[in-house]
Amino acid sequence: MSVINYQIGESYQVIEPNLHDSNLLSVEHDKNDTLIKFRSTSGELIQAVASNVKKLIINDFREGNIVLDVTIERMVKIPDYGLDKLFLLSKVKCEKQDAYIRTVKDKIESGEMMLVTINPSYGCNGMIYCEEISFYKI
């Protein structure tokens, strides 16, 4: 495996490696790490490894998942609605929930943690609240 130094463009989209229109092949979670495999439009296999995962949600995984884009948000202000899907927030506000979400947002804004989002063209979508993500050519 060789490391790919990822690059983020405007709107926090991962532009290197190019994951637009790639196929999302698998998602595996083991202990604190999540491994995600993609096949790029050029046929290369790319693996993303999210480390120290605190929260993960993957929906609509099916045969033929096509990625629109992957975003990485770190050291940015996250709106409340940006975390609704990940934490399945209750519509009824409570002090404990608000305090927890504030802590999550503070950790993302400070750069201690990040929010990785998989946006689909077709199929699987997901969000990962983790410490770090790395990409590899396999």
Domains of the chain: which residue ranges?
2-137
Q: Return the SS3 of 110.
A: helix
Per residue of the chain (138 residues), what is the pLDDT tens digit?
899 999 999 899 999 999 999 999 999 999 999 999 999 999 999 999 999 999 999 999 999 999 999 999 999 998 877 787 787 765 656 777 778 888 999 999 999 999 999 999 999 999 999 999 999 999
pTM confidence score: 0.92
Cα–Cα distance for residue pair 53/75, rounded to 1 Å = 17
Q: Rounded to 5 degrees, what angle do the CA atoms 49, 38, 122 make?
A: 120
